[in-house]
Structure 1
Amino acid sequence: MADPASYRPAPGEIPDSPGVYRFRDAARRVVYVGKAKNLRSRLSSYFADFAGLHPRTQQMVTTACSVEWTVVGTEVEALQLEYSWIKQYDPRFNVRYRDDKSYPYLAVTLGEDVPRVQVMRGAKQKGTRYFGPYSHAWAIRETVDLLLRVFPVRTCSAGVLRRAQLTGRPCLLGDIGKCAAPCVGRVTEDEHRAIAEDFCSFLAGDTGRYIRELERRMRAAAAEQEYERAARLRDDVQALQRALEKQAVVLGERTDCDVIALAEDPLEAAVQVFYVRGGRIRGQRGWVVDRVEEVGSADLVERFLAQIYGPQFDGAAPGEAPGGSADPADGPVPEGTAAIPREVLVPELPPDHEALAELLSRGRGSRVEVRVPRRGDKKSLMETVARNAEQLLKQHKTKRAGDLATRSRALQEIAEALDLDAGPLRIECYDVSNLQGTDVVASMVVFEDGLARKSEYRRFAIKTVRGQDDVAAIREVISRRFKRYLEESQASGELATLGGSDSTTDSSTVRAETGTESGSDAPERPAAPGRFAYPPNLVVVDGGPPQVAAAQRALDELGVTDVSVCGLAKRLEEVWLPGEDDPVILPRASEALYLLQRLRDEAHRFAISYHRAKRSKRATTSVLDDVPGLGPARKAALLKHFGSVRRLRAAGVDEIAEVHGIGPGLAGTVAAALAGGDPAPAPANGATGGGEPHGAQENAQGE
């Protein structure tokens, strides 16, 4: 690892003009490319305060051994040069977008002598027009089947075409009228190409012209009493209309835009794009990105726009957005590119959005607007795209978490990083939640074999801590959890080693058993395990050294020695061990860090939900709650009759007794309670006011 000070440029050497810079490692490989309005200010930030840098930036500057820069005239030129260098060098520390899956396109091979319609995936080829992307290949085939009735373009493979040319016999599609059969000379190659171009024009959005022409011909045939031909033309019109109905109308007919939304977490982000052409959603696509750089949402948007539209910045062939085309003379188009629309809707404006809009305008050849929709149909569509992005990120994480090999690798990486004897099959994670020191609660979530085991989740109402003291709260909750474990183990006679990694019995199958009295013939019956019967192999706390030390101290006081402890600090994603001065830095792309983050985030979510529930319960607590004999139905009846507690307090006993279900005795109890006196004893019938004691629910969940 290099010391950044060893290659820091001399003072005054860096210009203060716009430019692009490159960090190189010892082998002269470019590891990072960036741009800046002011090179001096931007580059100085990498060398000013190393400790204040984000961990990923620290890793980058210590991996690099030199930095160089190129001065440009404008911010637009800086954007263009940055994209070119990222494409050329593929730096390891720059954000890289990748498709969440391979999307199918509807392709028309106009570069061939006899164009063909087919489903294609992967890199785009020279001389081919692409339409899509579609979410499913069957959606393409349904659309093609409808359109071939009107535009009978060849769909067969090259082998089938050659065989038909040699035998002089067309395939089945040629016999049923869904292919113009250029292979046997029913149409010339020029006539077939014209049909293929009409097919492309219709898909590109020029739909009204063809429908109007077919309707005109249909009326003319009917006027000439050629009813069979008129019926066929009518069916053709209906086929085109059904093809159009498959594409939802969301905006005005003249609207051409790409709608982009993000869903992100500290390590990854998902991007979803809806392509709208002619007011209709013509396609949809998703990407997932590893957050290698220290970037916010605005920067992610800028880098995404650079990648998706980038080939058109430097004269490369534009890719095919739905309804667009690629010029066959321009060469192959990289996968992931798109034609630039008139309008790009984004969730947050990029830092240099004006320069970016100018660069997009140059690529399109006319004005392009980059903006955030604030109201109306476009904002509603943006919300829909955002929901799709959230689903994409969730599916990506679920797919990653559900893979057995991936989970096994994560547990093994954790064991190696924390110097454990074996992978921790059961991990418990704890988090504390409060609002300015009030309603302090904690959560315990459990992952077994890398998967959440929600039936084992527990929540705690902190009893001894007042104020914002997360360290004391962690110590209390760890003490309570393991004290209960030890009590249950002792009561049931369980002899399983606490957290023993050398035990041959899986923790999920351990059962405490109680024997019968000596001499009894009754068979032994397994006892139900307690709520804290199973010990973890690893305890994870949300926090740094203070929280980790508090958890370890709680275990030491109880004599628990076979449970490992670590903490995950949220800001820098560092893993802390008890008594260590330096954290364990897991690779940011490691499965171990991903699993620990899932644990921490789940514990945080569970704690927050419990904290909100307690706040909500406290906010709705009424002075009537403590009146003996007054249940929910009677409280509701009183409040409905009087309208408020203030009016109820001003009412007399006789007025209260007029309420349905309230007798004279209970009316006196209510009046005394509201007047501040001692409430009368509960009615002899044993009514308790409905509900369990205040602490019962908490004890059932935590203790």
Structure 2
Amino acid sequence: MINLQKIPTSPGCYIYRDISGEVIYVGKAINLKKRVSQYFQRDDALGPKTKSLVSQIDSVQTLTVNSEIEALILESSLIKKYLPKYNSQLKDNRSYLYICISKSKIPVITTAHYSNLPEKSDIYGPFPSGASVKSLLKTIRRLFPFRSSPKHAQKQCLYCHLNLCPGPNPDPVIYRQNITKIKKILNGRFNSLIKTLNKEMKIAAKSEDFEKAQIIKNQVDSLNYIVSGWHNLKNLYADINLPQDKQSQAIKDLIITLKPHLNINKLQRIECFDISQLGTKYFVGSMVVWQNGDLDNSAYRKFKIRTKATPDDQYMMKEVVYRRLKHPEWGTPNLIVVDGGKPQVSAVSSITKIPLIGLAKREETIIIKNKNSWQEIKLPQKSQALLLLIRLRDEAHRFANRYRRELISLSLR
């Protein structure tokens, strides 16, 4: 029997084990006692996956920390160590991100999913929340500017002017020293890093390099700040349901939203389309697929535009969907989503009777055409249904842009 009274109210990470002692789930929270208690007191609010998890919990271990950044890195290291089955299938789940630091002369820092991890790089993760990774790297970049691309124009970029990028020709020695400090953060060695910085600050002051000493002092102050309290809690006090249950709820909410306007009773397969274009040569389209409760990258398809040599987004969208519909062996979607508004929806609706919506970037509005009338639906920003559509749209955009860059790269060889 788990004694919830013994669980601390401190922030930190919690580890669930089953009766055999195997770690089955790792999470983080601002208030460990409150978070863990939710799993055992709100059965009616739990999804089926989360209920299954709770039924297998035999013991709870907690590890307390002082800050969000420490909790984020600790959670990642525990997931990497134990590979808990209820933290999703890490190799396939695209919600898990890794931070990658290349081993080149001027190392670059990027993020990637498991299937796209680069070779010859130091890998940190997995991190369950992509938003948390972006927040973490944004914080680190303010302390120690880094490059996120191997190539840099000779002119200074926007990040250079914001003191977030070392520019086109950084001093390799100083830059690599900063990369070493970033690695200490990602390894959770905060005390060691602060000790190193204090030592460097004293050396700079002793040699009367007061400008450098002030920069290091600001770094120390900032580092002490982010590891001494909870300054950004939006990613730490979230819904306790597992990602699979959140996605299941998103599908249910989306059906409820669309059913009054479209003939939809189930959403087992959703296809999302996007167009990417540059100049007058590189026009491509993408199709990404949601099925079996998650993105299915084995079903993704890419298209090189054949019938148009000038920018025409809605015509290109129509071509891509038309060519896709020539392949019934790929499966039949219950819903088609296009990136765009009325022009894109109007173009595609002329060639298919499959339920169709657009997602207009401006205010993330759902666009639906019913015969000669239009419906515009604005869901709350935190709606699981809207977040699912945005995730699909962004994934289609990423996939299309990657294909376009591949074509450009091939043409330059």
Higher Cα Rg, which structure: 1
Scaled by the length of structure 1, the TM-score of the pair is 0.29
